[in-house]
Structure 1
Amino acid sequence: MPTPKKGPRLASSPAHERLMLANMATSLFKHGRIVTTLPKAKRLRPLAERLITFAKRGDLHSRRRVMRVIRDKSVVHKLFTEIAEQMEQREGGYTRIVKIAPRKGDSAAQAIIELVTEPVSAKQAVVKEAEAATKVAAKEEAPAEAEAAPAAEEAATEE
């Protein structure tokens, strides 16, 4: 069968690429960071973020979907208990890619892909909380103003 011409591939076949990405994802969740080539890191990021999103859900179906990709049960357990707990406040952007010096032998572009372990900045959390508070206050003021308007009209008609 001829190889398909559409879309770039990292390996010789789609199956090999899936296995390679699964192995890299397993290593990423086991160690927290891995050094690889830049194209591989860019292809790994969406897969890793999708797996973390499944882990944040935490139900049995999500665990089984993650087990399709990551075959190591201890890594899946770590993903669902430790990593998902760290990423609970984060709405996305669970990984970070940092470019480093090219590889010595073939001068291939290298990158570090790592899990973002820093907590979500306090400033963003405060801004979201303030926006929510203003929405609640606006909803509470609207009925109060509606009640105050007829009372003001009655007072004006009495005078």
Structure 2
Amino acid sequence: MAGYRKLGRTASQRKALLRNQVTNLLYHGKIVTTEAKAKEIRKIAEHMIAMAVREKDNFETITKTVKVPQKDKDGKRVKEVKDGKKVTVFDEVEKSIKKENPSRIHARRQMNKMLYGITEVPTTTAGKKKGTKTVDVASKLFDEIAPKYADRKGGYTRIIKIGPRKGDAAMEVVIELV
């Protein structure tokens, strides 16, 4: 008996399909798929959320003084003449940085092995590169999803059957984060 469902695909196709669907489930909160795929997605997604819950508070906040160049109203750097040369003027700013502990870094790398990066495109500039931003799903797991499930001992996803698909009568389900 196999430890997983093969889903009628080669190993590389199956891995890519599951990575894509797990990424979309964690980003959007719910997706519609077949029952067999949902059961495989559930295993991976619950493992990711459990890792995020375990490591959510495993960081130190460090405050540092940093030099930042002054900018004028147009966003250009302010220059000053000293000893006949133009020199950029700097301000001292207090900046707090999250320093992750090694176990949290390891968990982040394990998540990034399985998750794809998502590029958000605003609706006003659809089809153009300008204004797009990449979303780190691992950070979303640590910052948004893990605190929501901190007091829960598992069972982070729910599978709801919605009926057979019209084309091939495969059982369709909605898998969502509880």
Which residue does 2:14 correspond to in 1?
17
In structure 2, distance between residues paired with 1:8 and 1:91: 26
Deviation at 1:49, TM superposition (A): 0.4
Q: What is the alpha-carbon distance in structure 1 between the residues aligned to residue 139 and residue 27 of structure 2?
A: 10
1:64 aligns with 2:109: yes
CA distance in 2, matches of 1:99, 1:57: 30
The structural deviation recorded for 1:32 is 0.2
Is 1:51 the equivalent of 2:96?
Answer: no
Cα distance, 1:12 vs. partner? 2.0
Selected match of 1:88 from 130, 150, 156: 150
Cα deviations by residue, 1:85-105 (Å, 9 ceiling, x for unpaired):
111010100000011121112
Match for residue 177 of structure 2 among 115, 123, 132: 115
> What count of residue pairs does the alignment treat as equivalent?
112
Partner of 2:141: 79
Question: What SS class does the counterpart of residue 90 from structure 1 fall into?
Answer: coil
Consecutive unaligned residues in structure 2, runs of 5 or more: 56-103, 118-134
Question: Secondary structure of the residue that 1:106 maps to in structure 2?
Answer: coil
Letter in 1 for 2:19: A
CA-based RMSD of the aligned residues comes to 1.6
Structure 1 CA distance for aligned equivalents of residues 6 and 22 of structure 2:
17
Question: 2:121 is matched with which residue?
Answer: none
Per the normalisation by structure 2, the TM-score is: 0.59
The CA deviation at 1:11 is: 3.7
Q: Which amino acid letter does the alignment assign opposite residue 75 of structure 1?
A: V
CA distance in 2, matches of 1:60, 1:8: 30
Report the AA paired with residue 36 of structure 1.
Answer: T
42-51 or 11-20, larger mean C-alpha shift? 11-20
Q: Which structure 1 residue ranges, 5 or more long, are not aligned?
A: 117-159
Q: Write 1 or 2 for the structure with the bigger share of helix.
A: 1
Q: Are positions 1:106 and 2:106 aligned together?
A: no
Q: Which has the larger radius of gyration?
A: 1
Counterpart position of 1:36: 33
In structure 2, do the counterparts of structure 1 residues 8 and 71 end up closer, same or farther at CA, with 3 Å as the change threshold? closer
State the shift of 1:57 in Å: 2.4
Q: Greater relative contact order (Cα 8 A, min sep 6): structure 1 or 2?
A: 2
